[in-house]
Structure 1
Amino acid sequence: MRKFLSGILSLLLLMGLLPAAYAEEPALGVTYEIFVASFQDSDGDGIGDLQGIIDRLDYLQSLGVRQIWLMPIHPSPSYHKYDVLDYYAVDPSYGTLDDFDRLTAACKERGIRVILDLVLNHSSSSHPWFLAACDDKFFSRTGKTTDWYVFYPEEGNARHKISGCSWWYEGQFGSHMPDFNLDSESLRAEFAKIITFWQSHGVGGFRLDAVTSYYTGANASTADFLRFVCETAKANDPDCYLVGEAWTDEATILTLYESGIDSLFNFPASDSTGRFVKAALAGKSSTVASAQADWNARIRAVSPASVDAPFVSNHDMARARGMLRSKVPNEKAAALLYLLMPGVPTVYYGEELGMSGSGSDENKRLPMVWSSDAATQCKAPAAADQAQRLTDGVAEQDSDPDSLLNWYRQLIALRNLAPELTRGEMTALDGGNDAICAYTVTDAGSTVAIISNVSQKDTLTVSLDVLRGAELLGGIGGAAFADGTANLPPLSGIIVRLP
């Protein structure tokens, strides 16, 4: 594998596609996921675009996020763009490659890295590669892309017939998304070119879509392919951050961490059944600290350089607002927990406002609410059948010190005071009350302690030996710290650095 990868990179260097060096990437922190079409329209067609994101960089910087993850931006026949037509281009509805270059440059000026959604499991059935491969099968010949897809001479599960001949192709997500043959060395060489191309245009990381479908049920093969992708990206840019979507159980996720990937999203802790939402609703968070500490230790045991990627909801899930019963205190409690966890947390756009959305995927990707004036918003996806329940958008919440938006801003700013939270080792503490989530995080010889109170009614005091002599870095919700004792009103927290 390493010899194969070295050969690919040498070829790219000779072709002039591999830059000699990359600028150092901004430090990792909180990621902000954006569905471009629903974020900000800049040209009046009702569709969000890259220039719209540039126009909203002041807002993103005010949140304190360190990465923006763009859902797929490539040409595609679908609204979601997970069925790609051209991996080297930007969908015209989103803008141009020049727009993308301006976006990455503007982000780097602000200390924000751009993470691109990379779909390597499948392409569009209208992609020229697939059309050529089908023609080759029809005419019983071998062409450049013939082995880039998975073909069978008989019917079977998730197999779709090529019209006019007795060949079927695999498409786990439907006939419109034919699966790639990831064992093809020439296809892997093409993927290496794609990765290098986007890195040369300022991309600082990749979100890898649907990794458990790479080799369904064959985790060792999936981990091997992930290793190839990671080694390719990091050979170009050692600071490149890669995070994978593995919507599966803990045991499988840990197996995939054997690839050395930076992060895999923590799906078991997310959604309405995950520990962050359940703890927020119950007002009991002591077990969250122990569970997360255990999870982080298990990741570290498999891949010492990898870190967790906690989140509550994303573009495939019902919005966090619904999970948290449309009550701002519940939403604040969940954020208080997951945004201060070690690793690289992700906020789904509009979560910081309390946007709604459930049912069909289109409903989960409704337009960003910039204000109560609907004229400031993009058009909703055509198949959406729910209206947005949130009325107060950024404009209204911006001036309200108690708004959910300003809570997110304060939390992320608090987190940014403790760089140990990105790659540090977590140890749970006993805070003496079920409502207290307490733990330390140590990195490079420096240790911080995080003490949070998710109760919505009780003021609690936490005094621990480990806190004696600690320095207060910051707090939220009126929390105070003196002489080794934290005084925590309902929904509050502190970060201190230990001596």
Structure 2
Amino acid sequence: MTWFEHAIWWHVYPLGFTGAPIRTAHDARPRLEHVRAWLDHAVELGASGLLLGPVFTSETHGYDSVDQYRIDPRLGDLADFDRLVAACRERGLRVALDGVFNHVGAGHPWVRRALAEGPDGEYARFFRIDWSDPRSPRPADFEGHSSLVALDHATPAVADHVTDVMSTWLDRGVDGWRLDAAYAVPAPFWAEVLPRVRSRHPDAWFLGEVIHGDHAAYAAASGIDSITQYELWKAIWSSLLDRNLFELDWALARHVELGRGQLPATFVGNHDVTRIATTVGPEGAVLALVVLMTVSGVPSVYYGDEQAFTGTKEERVGGDDAVRPAMPGTPADLAPSGGWMFRVHQQLLGLRRRHPWLVRATTTTTELTNTRYAYTARGAGAADVLHVELDLTDGHRAVVRDDAGGVLFSYDG
């Protein structure tokens, strides 16, 4: 097994986690120390890695970077980052960073120079710019967001830049990259860049954010190790919310197929979606976690979900704030009301760690109605068997048993 086949990530959006200003005047503070104060919490949870959202200098939310070689001053500096990585190492935690390589912020110095110098300027080749009106050149943007200027991935200099950025931070001690909006980047671009990065860091892990399309084909063409499994995420919450477990059964069959060509990155919450405890209630969130921890893939837990945090994603300016909240100074400052969910997470992440074969498990259905679903997860070994039961008939119930019938986890909400 590769190291990332053992990984369970604690996913943190650092600008929100640390209470950094997003749309108001920025300040410079070593807020990464705030994240460092929570690393023991991640270990106690059962995570084996820290998946960090954007940490590079940006204009607002982190996905509009203006310097990918510099830590955002709102979070600190290189010394603060190095201390965080070292603290992770001391605890056996891997570290992955969020790489925004599809686009940059409109205020990026290369964008400004490209527009100022014209089509023959040094940096014009980095972007796709409509020069038809010399008085008002129009850079291509990302999905209609004028603040996000798309890079031209057909330009060799862009491949050189992305290769260098990823290699620089891997040299500095990180273990992998989440490739933001990977689906918007032509797969051949990654197929060129990733081998160059792997030539220096053969053990690095690359996770591509892909929201739609043929995951397996994209992984095969790009060389990306793992693809975000949004299809399974949607089926988990939707089947619980609608009391239609046939949807989950269909999605798990698809999930097994998608996993044949790559190792899916699985989740029930992240920085871009409504909290699972909001969507299906805290009791339903437990059943969602049961599924997450008993099917194949590389799972992540989004910070706060282990405390049954709620929050609704809205399509407006600031609509992400509710799902990207600031955390208190230390775990001891948490409200006690979420302690029960933390203990549930400890049990299920512990179960996952004791059965590492689950990362490549297959699932077969043994019972299925609208409100009852049972499946068996199997690994390569004869003893690699778990039986999972979900029941929505009257409340929220879940049981995980070993092949001898011993109860490894149970919940009756």
TM-score, with normalisation over the residues of structure 2? Answer: 0.85
Q: CA deviation at 1:455?
A: 2.0
On the 8 A contact 1:121/1:213 being kept in 2, the answer is: yes
The equivalent position to 1:475 in structure 2, one of 399, 402, 408, is: 408
Shift, 1:88, TM fit: 0.5
Cα distance in 2 between the residues matched to 1:97 and 1:437: 49
- Separation in structure 2 between the aligned mates of residue 471 and residue 48 of structure 1, nearest angstrom: 51
Cα distance 1:275–1:264, how it changes in 2: closer, same or farther (>3 A)?
Answer: same
**Paired residue for 1:202?**
173
2:158 maps to 187
User: Size of the alignment, in residue pairs?
Assistant: 396
The equivalent of 1:9 in structure 2 is none
SS at match of 1:51: helix
Is the CA contact 2:30–2:80 (under 8 Å) kept in the aligned structure 1? no
Q: Is the 8 A contact 1:286 1:437 kept in 2?
A: no
Q: Secondary structure at the match of 2:102?
A: coil
- Partners in 2 of 1:57 and 1:46 — Cα distance? 22
Structure 2 unaligned blocks of 5 or more? 21-26
Output the amino acid matched with 1:151. Answer: I
Greater radius of gyration (CA): 1
CA contact (8 A) 1:429 1:440 kept: no
Note closer, same or farther for the CA distance 1:286–1:370 as it changes in structure 2 (3 Å cut).
farther
CA contact (8 A) 1:431 1:438 kept: yes
Change over 3 Å in CA distance of 1:432–1:195 after alignment to 2? closer
SS of residue in 2 equivalent to 1:186: helix
Question: Which residue in 1 is equivalent to 2:135?
Answer: 165
Work out whether residues 358 and 377 of structure 2, in 8 Å CA contact, stay in contact via their aligned partners in 1.
no
Paired residue for 1:311? 267
Identify if the C-alpha distance between structure 1 residues 439 and 239 changes in structure 2 by more than 3 Å, giving closer, same or farther: farther
Answering whether residue 185 of structure 2 is matched by residue 224 of structure 1, we say no
CA distance change for structure 1 residues 293 and 236 in 2, over 3 Å: closer, same or farther?
farther
Determine the structure 2 residue equivalent to 1:74.
Answer: 56
Letter in 2 for 1:322: T
Using the TM superposition, name which of 360-369 and 178-187 deviates more: 360-369
Identity %: 24
Indicate the residue corresponding to 1:141 in structure 2. Answer: 120
1:407 aligns with 2:407: no
- Does the CA-based 8 Å contact 1:290-1:428 persist in structure 2? no
SS of the residue 2:148 aligns to: coil
Distance 2:130 2:86 in 1: 45
Question: Residue type of the partner of 2:231?
Answer: P
Q: Establish whether residue 51 from structure 1 lines up as the match of residue 17 from structure 2.
A: no
- C-alpha separation between the residues in 2 aligned to 1:73 and 1:337? 31
How far did 1:108 drift? 2.1
Q: What letter matches 1:366 in structure 2?
A: P
Q: Residues of 2 paired with 1:48 and 1:289: CA distance?
A: 46
SS in 2 for 1:346: strand
Alpha-carbon offset, residue 368 of structure 1: 2.8
- Compute the displacement of 1:440 (Å): 2.5
Change in 2 beyond 3 A, CA 1:92/1:66: same
Amino acid paired to 2:203: D
Cα offset for 1:290? 5.6
Q: Which whole-Å CA distance do the structure 1 matches of 2:236 and 2:302 have between them? A: 15
- Asked if the contact 1:453–1:490 (Cα under 8 Å) also holds between the matched residues in 2, the reply is no
| Residue number among 229, 242, 264 corresponding to 2:227 in the alignment | 264
CA distance in 1, matches of 2:291, 2:389: 9
Higher strand share: 2
Structure 1: 5+ residue stretches without partners: 1-23, 156-163, 215-221, 377-392, 478-488, 492-499
One of 113, 116, 119 as aligned partner of 2:100:
119
1:199 maps to amino acid: L
> Aligned with 1:227: secondary structure?
helix
Give a deviation string over 1:37-69, Cα, whole Å, max 9, x none: 232479xx8988211111111101011112221
Shift of 1:394: 5.3
> Following the alignment from structure 1 to structure 2, what is the Cα–Cα distance between the partners of residues 288 and 232?
39
Contact 1:75 1:86 in 2 (8 A): yes
Match of 1:10 in 2: none
Q: Deviations over 1:369-398 (max 9, x none)?
A: 67999xx5xxxxxxxxxxxxxxxx455544
Q: List structure 1 segments (4+ residues) > 4 angstroms apart after TM superposition.
A: 24-27, 45-48, 282-287, 369-373, 431-434, 456-463
Provide the TM-score with structure 1 as the length reference. 0.72
Q: CA RMSD in A?
A: 3.1
2:307 corresponds to 1:350: no
Which residue is 1:364 aligned to? 323
Q: Is the 8 A contact 1:68 1:114 kept in 2?
A: yes
Which amino acid is 2:173 matched to? G
**Do the aligned residues in 1 keep the contact of 2:85 with 2:173 (CA within 8 Å)?**
yes
Measured at CA, do residues 165 and 431 of structure 1 come closer, stay the same or move farther in structure 2, by a change above 3 Å?
same
Structure 1 position 313, deviation (Å): 2.6
Return the alpha-carbon distance in structure 2 between the equivalents of residues 276 and 69 of structure 1.
Answer: 22
Aligned partners of 1:40 and 1:47 also within 8 Å = no
CA distance in structure 2 between the aligned counterparts of 1:343 and 1:332, rounded to whole angstroms: 18
Deviation of the 1:179 alpha carbon: 0.8
1:289 Cα deviation from its structure 2 partner: 4.9
Between the aligned partners of 1:313 and 1:121, the Cα distance in structure 2 is 23
| In 2: Cα distance, 1:192 partner to 1:371 partner | 36
Aligned 8 A contact 2:388 2:399 in 1: no
Give the letter for the 2:132 counterpart: E
